[in-house]
Amino acid sequence: MLNINTDLLFLMNKDSILDFFVNNEGLTAAYRKRAERYFVPLAEKILDWKGSEVFCLGMNGAQGSGKSTLARFLQLYLQELHGLSVVILSLDDLYLTRTERISLAETVHPLFETRGVPGTHDIGLGIAFMECCLEGKWNEACSPRFNKANDDREPSSHWLRLEKEPDIILLEGWCVGALPEPEEALRKPVNMLEKIEDPIGTWRHFVNTRLGAEYQHFYDMFSHWIVLQPPSFEAVVENRMKQEDQLRTQLHASGSKGSRVMSDEEVIRFISHYERLTRWMWEVFPERADIFIQLKDNHVVKEMVIR
């Protein structure tokens, strides 16, 4: 969450917004140049798209691709330069509770104990949030928060509640906007996790069925899509390892105990759950995206296509 001391803000222009964001997030000068070259034009394109109604935008990107940081930049830029109320909704916050995932693992397939794939979210909560906002009942809208360090949902007292009517709702997540795979694609495992632990395909078929059902109803509420695509799946694994290192450092600094931070070996196994759908999205999403951002290593932008 981007914390802004509004007492210090003054009629921000583009340069002051870039400076403030980079400093507040602890980012590099290289990120500032990247934001000015690519992300400012992206924000201005969003303004072109927005009409008089609530504008609903989805952002898809593999783990560690920088989508959450980009979402926060767009929020700050559009709010401070253009006076728009921008709400960020994260798909990760819709994860089932740990108890619910354990129950799913016991009744459907053991792999569902691990959060991430379609079937491990309470999509109904996301749909209810969107319906409140789209029907003008924004003051009744609330969305859960998920604590990744504890691998469980936060108490309802920590949930997202709106203080004003939103102009833009930005949904970000690793499989946001994804379409289900063709049935024939599910026959062969894509990695050792599937080969050993899902030999007959029960897990991946359930994931695909859920993706084709309530997830599509949710995604249909969004009209435009931004896609960030890393250079390789190996880069996704490396980026996730960096995220866990950052989380470990933050928890150590805050003195938190009992939190679940993954080792590199655990990250590799964890990301294996995401591999099938990630590779499938890379095949079909670039042509569907309204804005497609191809990344190189270290989040450097190779190209950005605006349609």
User: Degrees (nearest 5) of the Cα angle 234, 236, 240?
Assistant: 120
Across the beta sheet with 301-306, the strand order is: 86-90, 168-173, 55-61, 224-229, 291-295, 301-306
Residue closest to 76 by CA, chosen among 12, 136, 166? 12
Q: CA 2, CA 27: separation in Å to the nearest integer?
A: 13
pLDDT per residue as tens digits for the range 28-57: 999 999 999 999 999 999 999 999 999 999
**Residue whose token pair is 């599910």:** 186
Residue closest to 14 by CA, chosen among 36, 46, 37, 30? 36
Residue closest to 75 by CA, chosen among 3, 160, 178? 3
Name the pairing type of β-strands 224-229 and 55-61. parallel
Whether 6 has a pLDDT exceeding 70, the answer reads no
* pLDDT, position 257: 63
* pLDDT, position 165: 96
pLDDT per residue as tens digits for the range 55-78: 999 999 998 899 999 999 999 999
The percent of residues above 90 in pLDDT, for the chain, comes to: 83
pLDDT per residue as tens digits for the range 155-204: 999 999 999 999 999 999 999 999 999 999 999 999 999 999 999 999 99
Q: Give the H or E element holding residue 55.
A: strand 55-61
Domain 11-306 grouped into CATH 3.40.50.300: yes
Residue closest to 25 by CA, chosen among 62, 64, 73, 60? 73
Please report, for the chain, the start and end positions of each structural domain, with discontinuous segments joined by +: 11-306
Whether 306 has a pLDDT exceeding 70, the answer reads yes
* pLDDT, position 259: 62
Residue closest to 130 by CA, chosen among 48, 192, 69, 218? 218
